[in-house]
Every structure is written in C-alpha cells, then in structure tokens.
Structure 1
Amino acid sequence: SGCALIGGETAEMPGMYPAGEYDLAGFAVGAVEKSKILTGQNVKAGDVVLGLASSGVHSNGFSLVRKCIERAGSNAPATLDGKPFKQALMEPTRLYVLNVLAALAKHPNTQEASGIKALAHITGGGLLENIPRVLPDGLAAHLEKGSWPQTELFAWLQATAGIDDIEMNRTFNNGIGMVVVVDAGEAESCAASLRALGESVYTIGRIAPQGDGAQVVVA
C-alpha cells in the first residue's frame, strides 16, 4: 500500500500467552493536505453509492465465524467460492488504498469538479454502522438489496449463524469492503476507472433525505 510501518513491537509475555505464542503490534501514520480531506459535508441527495467487492470476511466478525465453524462441525463444506473452506475463511483483507487514491486523482471533488465526495471502509459494524460516519445530518444511504452478489461464503455464514439480513449487514462486510459516494454525473466514469484498476464495482444505492428513518436502509 506504499505505507511505512514506523513502529510496533513483538511482545512475549510468559504467564499471559501460552508457550510459543506472542503478540505482534504495529502502526502507520498518514498525512493529507487539509484541502484534500474528504469530510463528506458536500454529499447531497441524488449522489450515487458505489460498492467495492471485499475479498472475504476481512478482519471483522470472526467471533461469529468461529461459532459457525463449531456449529457446522464435520458438515462444513469442502469449498466456498471455488476455494478450500479454510482458505475462503482466512483470505487476506483486500487493501484498497492505491486504487482509491488513483480514482481520487482522476475524479476529485473540488470547486471546479464534483467527483468522489466520501469514502467509507466497511469494517466492524458493517454497512449499517460505517456509512453514517461519512454522511451529513439529514441524509441517508438507500441501498438496493441484491445490487451486489452474496458470495457462497457469506451465504453459508448467514445460514449457519441463523441471522437475518439486517444482522448480516451489521456483523460482516457482506461482500462490500469499501463504499464510495460520488456525484451522479461522475458515477459511471468513476466506476469504470476503478474497474480498470482491478476492482469489482457495483452501484449499490443512492443518497436520499433521511426523514424519520435510519441513515442506512437496505431494501
């Protein structure tokens, strides 16, 4: 991702971790010009919501994943989405930074042009809790159910956990790892740019007045 890992440590703590186990911690620092910060404050009704496909579970929801594995036992499938079962569950998190930066450079949101207005990384809390962080008060994201495919992995997790669509979209990324809010006039060209960079992109919804409802509605 072009990031410098400038600090961290490997900690071995006898009495805390079992023999042979350790904790690895690290961090990176980023900088951005103030004029280029995406605050989301100029998001407006009618803007388009694009979703970039995730590579799998990423790093959230693994407490429930472990419960699903335990519940399935020997009935766990041999493969999911064409990958061995364990590989599908442990697929590394897709990193979007370089492709998103390239798309931002091509579709900036400035006084002269309306392009990408907000980005939401879909981590813990899923679509329902991460998208509101980039929306101004009074606006909501109306997402269209079925506008992006549910992979075999997430279909298996939902069936095994016995949870409804609302909890799927709160517990897991459910197939969307990054959300891009873009001006409607730039949506098609922005999606094309991201696809050319190797992303799987879906038009998953629009921004609308919130009214008395939630800030994210999937219907």
Structure 2
Amino acid sequence: MNKSFSETYFNFEEINVETMQKAFFDTLYMTLISMIFVLVIGLLLGLLLYTTRRKEATYAKILYTVISLISNIFRSTPFMILMVLIIPFTKMIVGTMLGATAAIPALVLSAAPFYARLVEIAFREVDAGVLEAAEAMGANYWQVIWKVLIPESIPALISGLTVTSVSMIGYTAMAGAIGAGGLGGLAWQEGYQLGNLTVTLVATLIILVIVFIVQGLGDFFAKRTDKR
C-alpha cells in the first residue's frame, strides 16, 4: 500500500533523536576541525601565492606556477573522487577510512586550496599605495603583512572563509554517503536506503539551518570589520 505524502515526509515517530543528535555533532565536528586546518593552510598558501606573484625573480615565478598548479588540481577534483583517491593516505594518518575523523584529510585537501585562492584575491584587492606607504615609512616585510595587508583585507578574508565554510558543510554531507557519518550519512543510509524520507527531510533541514547560521555570522562579522 502506497504511503500518503504526509506519511512519507512527516512521520516523525520514525526519527531517533539520539541518532540525529550524534549525526548533528559529527557534522559540526567535521566542519569545525577541518576549517581550523583550512584557515591556517589557506592563509599561508594564499600569502605565498600573493608574494610570489608580485616578485619578478625567476624562482618566484616557478614557485608560483607550481603552487598554483597543485592548488588547481586539488580544488578542481570532485570531492567524492578525491576522498576515494586518498584512502591509503587517510588510513596511514588516521588509522581508518570510516567515521568523522577519517573525512577530515579529504575535506582539508579539497577546501584549503579553494580558500587559498580567495585569500590571494583578498590580498590583491588591497590598495598598493597603502603598502608602498608602509614600506616607505620603513616597515619590513612581516610588518607590512601583519600590520597592513591582513588588517586591510579582513572583511574579504571573512567573506571567503564564510563561502568556504558553507562549501565545507556540503562536503561533509557527501562524505557521509561513503562512511563518514554525520547528517549526510544519516540522510543517505537511514533515509534514502531504508526508505525513511522523514529522516532525510529532517537531516536536510538541520544542514540548511547550519548553513544559514554560518552565512549570517560571516556576513555580520564581515560588515563589522569593513572600514569603508
């Protein structure tokens, strides 16, 4: 007997609250831990891309090309394929290919190059005259970076981090389909595969709420730090 629309999507008695709660925290865990690594690696790579792009020396051009190529490879590879490709690497550093922790290497490798490009763009948008003025006043390389370049680009850096975080949440959902757990795994395994679409609906709604919160916070802090 076919189920009615309400029985298919709104049968909340089939929801296991503890399982849903665990999936929620697994998604937050994957997102937060991965974004910490993405923030650090992305900033360093973005700064390196920005610095080597500005220099005229041959070694700088070669270094920029190599970093740019590697970055493009990782950020262009579909996440599901990347996660499968690095299974041996994941097992080597994590010890398993299943669970929330096992998804973190693929999440970082996929998102860090993407954020690095956004960081490079943010740095390039800083007025060159401001940097030249700081250098003319005797500031060294690191003083220009920490006291001028980064402070001037903070709104753009926050916006880039927000975009990357939203993408990361989507990646965690895909990772769940191949054993990482989280809301994506719950929606796929208990929702789609077992025909319990109420689980899929609730998991999707929770993911959307997380995305809206992250986007709202990112927009708020980007606006607050914008001096214009």
- The TM-score with structure 2 as length reference comes to 0.22
Relative to total residues, which structure has the larger helix share, 1 or 2?
2
Relative to total residues, which structure has the larger strand share, 1 or 2?
1
Q: Which has the larger radius of gyration?
A: 2
Select the structure with the greater relative contact order (CA < 8 A; seq sep ≥ 6). 1
